[in-house]
Chains A and B, each alone.
Chain A
Amino acid sequence: MKNEQHHTECFFQRDRGWHPPALTPLYKTSVARSPRRAPVSFPHTLSEVTGPVFGHSILGALDNDLTVNFATPGESAIGPRIIVYGRVLDENARPVPNVLVEFWQANAGGRYRHRKDGYLAPLDPNFGGCGRTISDSEGHYFFRTIVPGAYPWPNGINDWRPAHIHFSIFGHGFVQRLITQMYFEGDPMIWRCPIVSTIPDRQAVEGLIAALDMEAAVPMDARAYRFDIVLRGRRSTLFENRMEGN
């Protein structure tokens, strides 16, 4: 059946007025790291529409639980316990199944386990800060972690990042590759951040803010935040192979 085949058609053009532009001077590092010439377009070839596949065999049992995957057995990370869950969809609102989702973050005090992070907030001996999972057949994913803290960074003299979790997502084509950051509903730091404000459209920023979902919380254990991720949609030949539409 044609419906069962993997699509090979090209992806929708990326809306570069929706994504942050390369040069965003309020985020100072972008000034010397942004191309000055226009990017060049060409029609998608197999090099763009194909992409790597990751099987469940790469996953360890604790890969999607940051509260324990670096902890001494019997202990866990310090901080407000949460579940982050959502779906990976494409622009046609179809689930994107079986794709690798990776995430990393600071600990509850805003300190990263990285030798270049010299912030005076202490490391948590039971928190590493990395995790990964693979979306299921309906595009669902989830992981457990603790709420990361805000932290200062050398941009302006008093700039602080809002609490955030970095996300890296694969699609089915290499040009769907995306890295972004998830923020938390109600955080007043979001609207003061020079990295958030690289995004020109307020609605696009709101698409990065996870919603508190108390119905998905586990009582006496963890609250939940919902964060859906949308990857580029893929064209299909109208009416030919997908009766339910594009």
Chain B
Amino acid sequence: MAQSVRRLKETASQTAGPYVHIGLTPNFGGIAGVYPHDLGSGPVDAKARGERITIKMRIFDGTGTVLRDALVETWQADTDGLYNSPSETRGKADPNFQGWGRFPSDMETGEIAIETIKPGRVPFPDGRLMAPHISLWIVARGINLGLATRLYFSDEEMANAEDPVLTRLEHQNRVETLIARKESAHYLFDIHLQGERETVFFDI
């Protein structure tokens, strides 16, 4: 026996369950009057700099059925590639852009509409630039531990081709599951939790 390093263990995850709206988006879930508005739900600050974009997202289970009780959180850099976080050491991010959002699936259609700005490029630890991306965190009934993935953009082909995360994927035919498709006024992004078109999820 050696001495113990005596670290604590992380609190184990549990599913967010079907009523996640009560806690995280109560106004959306029909509980009015407790919070003035749901956190992360507002439109992007009108003063935020950068290109306005809309992303229409849907999440499908292994049978091809759309989830109507999921919740997605987004985390992204500002238009210059800076994060609005105390851990950002390279400079001060746009004070009018928080970079975080919270979006429940529509309870009838399952659609998730995200209005934000297109993020700038952020460096990988070795200094190479990553392609513009949004980090996603997905919870729902039936998901025991929140799923992490990234959304990249179809009109950033050059940057995507040299992205340090996309290029390290062993199965290159899965890269396309991380790329939101630009269609006239918005991007379309479908997440498949399971099956042939399964989205790449990250253990990070």
Judge whether B162 is part of the interface by a CB distance below 8 angstroms: no
C-alpha gap A246/B69 in the complex (Å): 40
Contacting residues, chain B, for A125 (C-beta < 8 A): none
Main secondary structure of the interface of A (DSSP, over half): loop
Q: Is the CB of A32 within 8 A of B13?
A: no
Judge whether A60 is part of the interface by a CB distance below 8 angstroms: yes
Chain B 183-204: CB-based contact to A (< 8 A → 1; otherwise 0): 0000000000111001111111
Q: Write 28 A-B pairs (CB below 8 A) sorted by A numbering.
A: A15-B9, A18-B9, A20-B144, A27-B144, A34-B142, A34-B144, A35-B193, A35-B198, A35-B199, A35-B201, A39-B148, A39-B201, A42-B168, A42-B204, A44-B125, A45-B125, A52-B75, A52-B99, A60-B34, A93-B7, A104-B20, A168-B24, A178-B146, A179-B20, A198-B14, A204-B9, A233-B7, A233-B8
Judge whether A222 is part of the interface by a CB distance below 8 angstroms: no
Q: Is the CB of B10 within 8 A of A91?
A: yes
Judge whether B165 is part of the interface by a CB distance below 8 angstroms: yes
Judge whether B143 is part of the interface by a CB distance below 8 angstroms: yes
Q: Is the CB of A19 within 8 A of B144?
A: yes
C-alpha gap A16/B148 in the complex (Å): 14
Name the interface residues of B24-70: CB closer than 8 Å to any CB of A. 24, 26, 29-31, 33-36, 39, 61-63, 65, 67, 69
Question: Which stretch (B82-90, B110-118, B153-161) binds chain A?
Answer: B82-90
Q: Is the CB of B89 within 8 A of A40?
A: no
Q: Is the CB of A232 within 8 A of B135?
A: no
Q: Is the CB of A32 within 8 A of B14?
A: no
C-alpha gap A198/B199 in the complex (Å): 23
Judge whether A103 is part of the interface by a CB distance below 8 angstroms: yes
Closest to B124 in A: A45
B33, B146, B170, B203 — most chain A CB neighbours (10 Å): B203
A52-B99, A175-B148 given; A34·B31 CB < 8 A: no
Name the interface residues of A10-64: CB closer than 8 Å to any CB of B. 14-16, 18-22, 24, 27, 29-54, 58, 60, 62-63
Which residues of B does A touch, CB under 8 Å? Answer: 6-24, 26, 29-31, 33-36, 39, 61-63, 65, 67, 69, 73, 75, 77, 83-90, 98-100, 107, 122-125, 130, 133, 135, 137, 139-148, 150, 164-165, 168-170, 193-195, 198-204
Chain A 104-130: CB-based contact to B (< 8 A → 1; otherwise 0): 100000001111110000000000111
A8-B87, A45-B130, A207-B9 given; A39·B30 CB < 8 A: no
Q: Is the CB of B100 within 8 A of A52?
A: yes
Contacting residues, chain A, for B14 (C-beta < 8 A): 20, 166, 179-181, 195-196, 198-199, 208
B86, B89, B139, B195 — most chain A CB neighbours (10 Å): B86
Q: Is the CB of A129 within 8 A of B135?
A: no
Contacting residues, chain A, for B62 (C-beta < 8 A): 31-34, 36
A113-B30, A129-B22, A130-B22 given; A230·B87 CB < 8 A: no
Contacting residues, chain B, for A196 (C-beta < 8 A): 14
C-alpha gap A62/B22 in the complex (Å): 16
Which of A15, A20, A47, A54 contacts B10, CB < 8 Å? A15
A46-B88, A47-B130 given; A32·B142 CB < 8 A: yes
C-alpha gap A196/B125 in the complex (Å): 38
Contacting residues, chain A, for B63 (C-beta < 8 A): 32
Judge whether A139 is part of the interface by a CB distance below 8 angstroms: no
A8-B89, A51-B87, A166-B23 given; A208·B12 CB < 8 A: yes
Q: Is the CB of A39 within 8 A of B26?
A: no
A35-B201, A39-B201 given; A180·B84 CB < 8 A: no
Which of B6, B12, B170 contacts A18, CB < 8 Å? B12
Q: Is the CB of A52 within 8 A of B85?
A: yes
Contacting residues, chain A, for B123 (C-beta < 8 A): 45-46
Contacting residues, chain B, for A58 (C-beta < 8 A): 39
